Structure 1
Amino acid sequence: MKPAAGALPRHPLHLAFSDFREITKARLAISVVFSALAGYLLGAEQVRLMPLLLLAVGGYCMVGASNAFNQVIERDLDALMHRTRNRPIPAGRIQVAQALAIAIAMTLAGVVLLYLLNPKTALFGTLSIFLYTCVYTPLKTVTPLAVFAGAFPGAIPFMLGWVAATGEFGIEPGTLFMIQFFWQFPHFWALGWMLDEDYRRGGFKMLPTGKKDTGTAVQIIMYTIWMIVISIVPVFGITGRLHLSIPAAVLVFLMGLVMLWFALRLYELRDRKSARSLMLSSVTYISLIQIVYVIDKFLS
């Protein structure tokens, strides 16, 4: 296809970089790295640049590898859905062997970089790839419980940062894990509601009841409430070195109520627009509370 009149043709390197970003899902990977860095800042007694760089690059490699493996496995299903048919593999811009090479190389690089931080960080990073690729991905066409399985690797990044900073797993990273674990459900069910028709074309079962109905909306509300509760638990002083001041806890609680309001709107209206609003509010929520946690630590 010829470029439009007046448009500059894109350089092959630019196209290759664009496909690399797409096969590693760069925007998603960057948001995951953000969570990991927030966890590191919460756990570190002294913030140092080199561990931050190792965590950022190693974390991106691990997430990018997971996404590349996922797109290799789901390439035929991706070709059936409108939102994924132009991905590099189904569109023929990247061959399966090339995608596998990228995934394997990024896995090895990620494991090495995270191991340089400490062995536990590398272990949890490797576990996240295994769960995402070998458990969550195949279950997506089998059962709605795939979202439950996917919530485990999806909740690791926030926790991973603390482990990277301390080399230890305890109540503190466990709490960070639980916050992001419960957040996964309203986030992905809202996304599943938005894209239900397209997911059905690919044979994916993403909604808990299999339908955009009252049961799904109620479960979204319940998991949002649990997410809010877990998010403010550190204010009670029962989570070790992970603290949250009363003003910060109030702010986190209010942000949670905003997200709950969008969940209630979805229950009331049950339309795509409400689902999209909830999905966007969930992305905003998880990013903002991580910022609040970090700022609160350094101001307290």
Structure 2
Amino acid sequence: MKTAVNSVKSDSFAVYFSDFKEITKARLAISVVFSSVAGYFLGAVEVNYTSVLLLAFGGYCMVGASNAYNQVIEKDLDALMDRTKNRPIPAGRMSVTTAMTIAVSLTIMGIVALYFLNPKTAMFGAISIFLYTSVYTPLKTKTPLAVFVGAFPGAIPFMLGWVAATDHFGIEPGTLFMIQFFWQFPHFWALGWMLDDDYKKGGFKMLPTGKKDRGTALQIIMYTLWMIIISIIPVFGFTGRLQLSIVAAIVIFLMGLVMLFFAFRLYERRDNGSARKLMLASVSYITLMQLVYVIDKFI
């Protein structure tokens, strides 16, 4: 009997933990934490691992809070789409009150953790939550410009790490911001292309032309080109302490060309398979690019 009770408790915990990961979008949050930590290592003169842990914890809390607020706001729309209908709230496994409690708790813990690093870091973290939940989320059903607005909070993590390490905002974190800002357009438009039919069930307007056409694909190509250019600008010595060797710049340029290849392939074929390959290439690019930046600094 005791074993059965323990088994039920274990299963319940597993469900609660799974729902917590879902409401906070754990994989996305971890990727954001990775970007923030990479930015920290780029900015730090001397690495303080307590600061790294505070940044990672605070970063996860801020992203998790944003996603929890988002799922509360969009609960009725999530129920209409195949990819989101099994989320904790529309599936009935979590109440709105519980989700809001998680969101508010994560907001408070995240801001406090980032404030211990410095007030600027906490401010940018709070701004990202506000823009994501109060501006980007409501705009998703009204205009494709929502992606442009959403690119601002989405671009904060990479620069946030630099600000956390230096307590300074200037050309260096501004450049990191611009890299991730331009990267988001091909990434999210590729994702939006793949999920366009499902997004339409919820009334979301994610593609710039509203269609899976050459116009959307052309804009993806243009933003990919800008992303590549911004990514290698530090090699020219215009970006203060943020520097890049010629070898690292060549590596990043070649990785960008791979992503550009898939962007042109989408323009040519205009199918979901090409969009998926571009999306996967974009995920690989942002991760490897940040690793190259960090490795280049320390070798």
TM bucket (normalised to shorter chain) is: over 0.9
Q: Does 1:41 align with 2:45?
A: no
1:83-232 equivalences in 2 (<5 Å)? 83-232=83-232
Give the aligned partner of residue 4 of structure 1.
none
| Identity value in percent | 75
AA of the residue aligned to 1:12: S
| Cα distance in 1 between the residues matched to 2:252 and 2:139 | 33
* In 1, Cα distance between equivalents of 2:128 and 2:9: 39
Root mean square deviation, CA, Å: 1.1
The CA deviation string for residues 135-192 of structure 1, in whole angstroms up to 9 with x for no partner, is 0000000000000000000000000000000000000000000000000000000000
- Post-superposition Cα deviations, 1:190-240, rounded to whole Å, max 9, x if no partner, equal 000000000000000000000000100000000000000000000000000
Secondary structure in structure 2 of the residue aligned to 1:11: helix
Q: Following TM superposition, by how much is the alpha carbon of 1:11 offset from its aligned partner in structure 2, in angstroms? A: 1.4
Alpha-carbon separation, structure 2, partners of 1:19 and 1:245: 44
Structure 1 Cα separation of the partners of residues 209 and 15 of structure 2: 40
Residue aligning to 1:250:
250
Please give the secondary structure, in 2, of the residue aligned with 1:266: helix
* Alpha-carbon distance in structure 2 between the residues aligned to 1:211 and 1:59: 34
Matches within 5 A, 1:261-300: 261-299=261-299
- The equivalent residue for 1:69 is 69
Paired residues, number: 293
Counterpart CA distance in 1 for 2:290 and 2:75 is 34
Q: Distance in 2 between matches of 1:158 and 1:49?
A: 18
Q: Which residue of 2 aligns with 1:31?
A: 31
User: What per-residue deviation string (whole Å, max 9, x for no partner) do you get for residues 20-51 of structure 1?
Assistant: 00000000000000000000000000011100
Moved over 4 A (4+): none
Calculate the TM-score normalised by the size of structure 1.
0.97
Measure the CA separation in 2 of the matches of 1:10 and 1:18: 12
Instruction: Give the Å deviation of 1:64.
Output: 0.1
Query: C-alpha distance in 1, partners of 2:187/2:149?
Result: 14
Post-superposition offset of 1:10: 5.8
Residue deviations 1:225-275 (CA, integer Å, cap 9, x gap): 000000000000000000000000000000000000000000000000000
Letter in 2 for 1:88: P
CA distance in 1: counterparts of 2:213 and 2:9, whole angstroms: 47
Q: How far has the Cα of 1:83 moved from its partner?
A: 0.3
Q: Structure 2 length normalisation: TM-score? A: 0.97
For residues 280 and 54 of structure 2, the distance between their equivalents in structure 1, rounded to whole angstroms, comes to: 29
Stretches of structure 1 that go unaligned for 5 or more consecutive residues are: 1-7
CA distance in 1, matches of 2:48, 2:108: 24
Aligned to 1:82: 82
